[in-house]
Chain A
Amino acid sequence: DGGITQSPKYLFRKEGQNVTLSCEQNLNHDAMYWYRQDPGQGLRLIYYSQIVNDFQKGDIAEGYSVSREKKESFPLTVTSAQKNPTAFYLCASSIVGQGREDEQFFGPGTRLTVL
């Protein structure tokens, strides 16, 4: 089955600690995205990547970092610089290119809680 996996499902972080959220896809998609979702707010883009070894900041990149060393993997690190990281984090992917469907697919999410 093709799809997007995120791990862990739940993550707890202590103050001052860096944590990494995993996102893997086997859809052979070029583009991958990280979003943050808070209650009562829409999805906000953290980072996105169109190709391997390239990524761009989204609207709320401060306190986060990413890497894209492989096409199928796009891990997100929440650093201690992110002052309010408690949220639901969603990873997505899509095909890149005009004339393609460009449908976006999402993983099941990781809920991060700061203790």
Chain B
Amino acid sequence: KQEVTQIPAALSVPEGENLVLNCSFTDSAIYNLQWFRQDPGKGLTSLLLIQSSQREQTSGRLNASLDKSSGRSTLYIAASQPGDSATYLCAVRPGGSYIPTFGRGTSLIVHP
């Protein structure tokens, strides 16, 4: 059974820092990996989707990489801002299934 782990569970940084959030998974036979952002009391917002054949995706200050062989993905946030404060979740969809497995998320606080 696929297991998804996100480290660290919580992170507090000053504004302006470049950040790396980690997502690891146990089964490398994945179809895609998706990164989400969740604000308190809200639904999940899709940030980036990486297909299994891709190595990275970029959107603005966000860059997500995927290394299937090592079972890892990283979300890089450049020049963090207080508005980036949220919980970030990764979800791994295995090959042959429509059901993704979610990590428990990294809670990020960016203070001015």
Contact = CB atoms under 8 A, between A and B. Distances in A.
Contacts of B93: 102
Contact of A109 (B32, B41, B46, B98): B41
A107 B43 contact: yes
Interface in A24-64: 31, 33, 40-43, 45, 48, 50, 58
Interface residues of A, number: 27
B91 A104 contact: yes
B99 A58 contact: yes
A15 interface: no
Interface in A1-35: 4, 6, 31, 33
Interface in B19-45: 31-32, 34, 36, 41-45
Interface residues of B, number: 22
Contacts of A41: 104
B103 to A, nearest CB: 6
What 6 pairs across the A-B complex have the smallest Cβ distances? A106-B44, A106-B43, A42-B104, A43-B102, A108-B43, A42-B102
16 contacts: A4-B43, A6-B43, A33-B99, A48-B99, A50-B98, A58-B99, A88-B41, A102-B32, A102-B93, A103-B34, A103-B49, A104-B34, A108-B42, A109-B41, A109-B43, A111-B41
Interface of B: 4, 31-32, 34, 36, 41-46, 49, 89, 91, 93, 98-100, 102-105
